[in-house]
Amino acid sequence: MKRGMLVMLTAALILCMCGAADAAKMKLKWGSTSVGSGLYANTVTMAGIVNRAYPGEIDLTVVETGGFIENLARIEKKFIHLGPASAAAAFASYQGIIDFKKPNPTLRSLWGGYVTPIHIISSKKSGINTLEGFNGVPFAMNPGTTSGRIIELFFDALGIKPDYKLMGISASVDAMKSGSVKGWFKAGFKDAAILDLESAMEINIIPVNKNYIDKMNAKYPAHGLLMPIPAGLFKATPKEQISYAYVVSDFVHKDIPTDVVFKIIKAVYDHRKELNALATLKEGRFEEMYKMALDFDLRVPFHPGALKFYEETLKVKVPAKLLPPK
């Protein structure tokens, strides 16, 4: 009887110890995008790097979301704790300007991130090969996504008025294939959705020039950027051309502990070269995560954990505009 009680007490102690260890682990949700986007793999890879680096301390779960704009709202409500977003949209959200009605003071930056293009697409049979050709024609629009927000602002700045058809990413691919829309757009370097589209039909990827970007920035400051697309990236790009682009950064809620954020950034930075193997990041500059924050004018202040990493590990002096509010 005594032996049985001893076994039971030992088992209970082990369970308590395991429970305590699990409770000590910081469990966080890292928002991403739709699984149909090539950018989803980026977040999964980064979360995996952090989980392997700190198996007993941090447990990151990747959450599928409706896109980067949704991530900003989810971070504010703590439905997720961190996630990627357009640096320009994050600043607009933080300040409560342009299309954001009120400030979101909970946002803090992790890093500058990387540049990703937005490919503006038309069906080959539509005959559309300029941006102006989309005026008045059926055009798939993905509401709530960063790329959707940017393209809508972009066309508005250019005075182009497509006949927007609101739908999701997967539905947009199907609509292009069926011919019910003549144009669409998709963020991501060598994006899987565009490759899927090209497997079924011929498309054009419409080039963008500096004149367009100047008009965008004149109406919506800090929102326009260009990126060269190498020859052969898609069937539709037999030679190098220019696409619209934006900076993708990751943002975190201000209440996440400093040491946890420090470790997340350290793990990603220590394994940054692994990220270059991802097709969607290959032409980015993710490994220059701090330099990107300066080069592309990141405007949401760093989290204290990020500040600690950059000052102590990279030995840099962070400019005043990126210092966390007191």
**CATH code for the domain of 67:** 3.40.190.10
What is the pLDDT, as a whole number, of residue 14?
Answer: 45
On whether both 134 and 235 belong to a single domain, the answer is yes
Report yes or no on 213 lying in a domain: yes
Report yes or no on 19 lying in a domain: no
On whether both 211 and 258 belong to a single domain, the answer is no
On whether both 111 and 125 belong to a single domain, the answer is no
- Amino acid identity, position 63: V
Report yes or no on 21 lying in a domain: no
Q: Tell me: pLDDT of 31 over 60.
A: yes
Q: Is the dihedral of CA 280, 64, 67, 309 positive or negative?
A: negative
Q: Tell me: pLDDT of 36 over 80.
A: no
What is the pLDDT, as a whole number, of residue 297?
Answer: 77
Residue closest to 162 by CA, chosen among 186, 131, 119: 131
What is the pLDDT, as a whole number, of residue 17?
Answer: 43
Report yes or no on 8 lying in a domain: no
Q: Which of 246, 269, 299 is the last residue of a domain?
A: 246
More reliable by pLDDT, 248 or 127: 127
Report yes or no on 15 lying in a domain: no
Residues 160-209 have pLDDT tens digits of: 999 999 998 899 999 999 999 999 999 888 888 999 999 999 999 999 99
Is residue 7 very low, low, confident or very high in pLDDT (cuts 50, 70, 90)? very low
On whether both 50 and 64 belong to a single domain, the answer is yes
Report yes or no on 129 lying in a domain: yes
On whether both 201 and 300 belong to a single domain, the answer is no
On whether both 178 and 81 belong to a single domain, the answer is no
Report yes or no on 209 lying in a domain: yes
Q: Tell me: pLDDT of 3 over 70.
A: no
- Most confidently modeled range among 37-41, 239-243, 283-287: 239-243
8 Å CB contact between 146 and 85: yes
On whether both 161 and 240 belong to a single domain, the answer is yes
Provide the residue range defining the domain that includes 135: 116-246
What is the pLDDT, as a whole number, of residue 185?
Answer: 97
- Most confidently modeled range among 7-21, 154-168, 238-252: 154-168
Q: Tell me: pLDDT of 42 over 70.
A: yes
On whether both 32 and 74 belong to a single domain, the answer is yes
On whether both 154 and 95 belong to a single domain, the answer is no
Q: What is the mean pLDDT of residues 15-30?
A: 65
Q: Tell me: pLDDT of 108 over 70.
A: yes
Is residue 10 very low, low, confident or very high in pLDDT (cuts 50, 70, 90)? very low
What is the pLDDT, as a whole number, of residue 279?
Answer: 47
Report yes or no on 16 lying in a domain: no
On whether both 212 and 71 belong to a single domain, the answer is no
Task: Determine if residue 127 is left, alpha or beta; phi over 0 gives left, psi from -120 to 50 gives alpha, anything else beta.
Answer: left
Domain count, the chain: 2
Residues 51-95 have pLDDT tens digits of: 999 999 999 999 999 888 899 999 999 999 999 998 989 999 999
Residue closest to 134 by CA, chosen among 87, 85, 184: 184
More reliable by pLDDT, 287 or 19: 287
8 Å CB contact between 314 and 270: no
Q: Which of 246, 268, 289 is the last residue of a domain?
A: 246
Residues 284-304 have pLDDT tens digits of: 455 678 887 888 778 899 999
On whether both 121 and 89 belong to a single domain, the answer is no
Q: Which of 207, 231, 246 is the last residue of a domain?
A: 246
The Cα–Cα gap between 319 and 321 comes to: 6
- Give 146's contacts (C-beta < 8 A, 6+ positions apart): 67, 68, 69, 85, 86, 89, 187, 246
On whether both 136 and 228 belong to a single domain, the answer is yes
Q: Tell me: pLDDT of 277 over 80.
A: no
Strands 183-187 and 114-123: antiparallel
